[in-house]
Amino acid sequence: MPTLDSSTIANVRVRISSSLLISLACLIALLYFGRILIITLIIAILSAFILDPIVGLFQRLKIPRAAASFLVCSLALLAIYGSLFGAYTQVSVLLEDLPAYTQRINELTDKVLIEIEAAERAVYQVVVPKRLREQALPAQPQSNTVRRRGAPVLPVAPPLPPPVQEVRIKAERSPIFDYLYAHMDDFYHILLMTSFVPFLVYFMLSWRDHFLRNVTKLFQGENREVAHRTMEAVAHVARAYVVGNFILGLLLAFASTLFFWIAKIPYWPLVGTLSGFFSLAPYIGLPLAIIPPFFAALTVFNNLSAYLVIGTTVAFLHLLALNLMYPKLVGSRVHLNPIAVTLALMFWGSLWGGIGLVLAVPVTAAIKAVCDNIPSAEGFGRLLGD
C-alpha cells in the first residue's frame, strides 16, 4: 500500500477544510434565504410534537388516527381563534382609551424633561464659578437708535424680512403605511406559509407511523436503529421544551392575571397573559414582563409606590418560575449549558430575527439530541450539554 507524504496529507486536509467551510456557508445561506419555509416547517413539527400525545389519548378511545388527528387539530384551531378573539376584544377597548394613555405619556415625558433641566441648572451653578457664568451670558442687544455727538437721535431701520419663498406642501403618507407597503411582499409570504401550518400538522399527525417507518428504511443495519432512536430523542426534547414552557407560561399568566385583577389594573386579562408569557423570554423576560402592567396602569396610578409594588411582584413571579419551576419542567430535559443557549440566541436571532429568538433553544436542543445519538458527533453533544 503506497504511503502519503506530509505535503499530500496537508493538501488533503486543506481540501477537506475548504469543503466543510463551503458546505457551512451554503447551509447558512439556505437557512437565511429559505427562512420562511424552514420556520414554517419547524413550527408545524413542534405543533405536531405537542398534539401527538393527545392524538394517542383519542386512539385509546378506539378512534382511528386520522379522525383523532382531525379532531385534535380542530380543537387546537378553536382554542387559538378563541384566544385571538379575546385578545382582539381587549385591544379594541384599549384603542378607544389610547388618547388618554397618550396624554398621560406626554405629561410624564414633560415632567421628566423639566426635572432633567432643573438638575442640569443646579449642577451648572455648583460646578461653574459665578464669574465664568457671567462671562458666558449673551451680550445685550443694541438699541435701534444711534446717537451721534451733537446730532439728533436717528432711528435705525430694522432689518428687512427675508424674501418670501414659495412653500410646496408635499403630501406624505404615514410611516405605518410606508412600512406595510415596503414589506407587503414579506407579509404576503408569511401569511401564505402560515395558512399551510394546520394542514402540515394534520398530515404529520395522521401519517406519523407511515413517515417514521419509511424514514428508517432509508438506513441499513445498525444505522436504522440509530435513526429511529434519534428521531424519538428529538421528539422527546422538543415536546418537553415546548410543553414545559407552555405550562409554565400558563401558570405565570394565571398568577399575574390574579394579581392585576386584585390591584385593579385595566385590561388585566390581556396584561396578565402577556406579562406571564413575556417572562419566559431568555435574558430579557423580566423587562418585557414589566412593560404591559406599567403601561396599563398609567391612567390609574400616579404615585411611585404603586409601580414599585407592581414591578416587585412581577420580578418575584419571574424569579420564582425560573429558579424553582423552570429547572423541573424544562431544564432537566433540555440539558443545554448557558454558553450554548447564549450563542444559539445570538445566531438564530441574527439569522431569523424575533422568531429566531423564540425557536433558538428548541432547535439547538434538537441538534444536541441528534449529536447525542450519533457516535461520531457525541463530542459536539457534550460541548452543547450541561
Top-confidence residue, 127 or 246: 246
Q: What is the pLDDT of residue 112?
A: 79
pLDDT exceeding 70 applies to what percent of the chain?
81
Q: What is the pLDDT of residue 15?
A: 78
Q: What is the pLDDT of residue 168?
A: 46
Residue 90 cell numbers, joined = 381587549
Top-confidence residue, 317 or 223: 317
Check whether 166 has a pLDDT greater than 80.
no
Check whether 171 has a pLDDT greater than 50.
no
Q: What is the pLDDT of residue 261?
A: 92
Q: What is the pLDDT of residue 71?
A: 92
Read off the pLDDT of each residue in 4-23 and give the average, rounded to a whole number. Answer: 75
Q: What is the pLDDT of residue 206?
A: 87
232-284 per-position pLDDT tens digit: 888 888 888 888 888 888 899 999 999 999 988 888 888 889 898 888 887 78
Most confidently modeled of 189-203, 286-300, 322-336, 371-385? 286-300
Neighbouring C-beta atoms of residue 261, cutoff 10 Å: 13
Check whether 167 has a pLDDT greater than 50.
no
Per-chain mean pLDDT for the chain = 79
Read off the pLDDT of each residue in 217-241 and give the average, rounded to a whole number. Answer: 80
Most confidently modeled of 125-139, 144-158, 210-224? 210-224
Read off the pLDDT of each residue in 2-30 and give the average, rounded to a whole number. Answer: 77
Q: What is the pLDDT of residue 185?
A: 64
Q: What is the pLDDT of residue 31?
A: 86
pLDDT exceeding 90 applies to what percent of the chain?
6
Q: What is the pLDDT of residue 255?
A: 92
37-61 per-position pLDDT tens digit: 888 888 888 888 888 888 889 888 8
106: exposed, middle or buried (C-beta count within 10 Å: 0-12, 13-18, 19+)? exposed
Q: What is the pLDDT of residue 312?
A: 92
Top-confidence residue, 170 or 42: 42
The pLDDT confidence band at residue 83, using thresholds 50, 70 and 90, is confident
Q: What is the pLDDT of residue 170?
A: 45
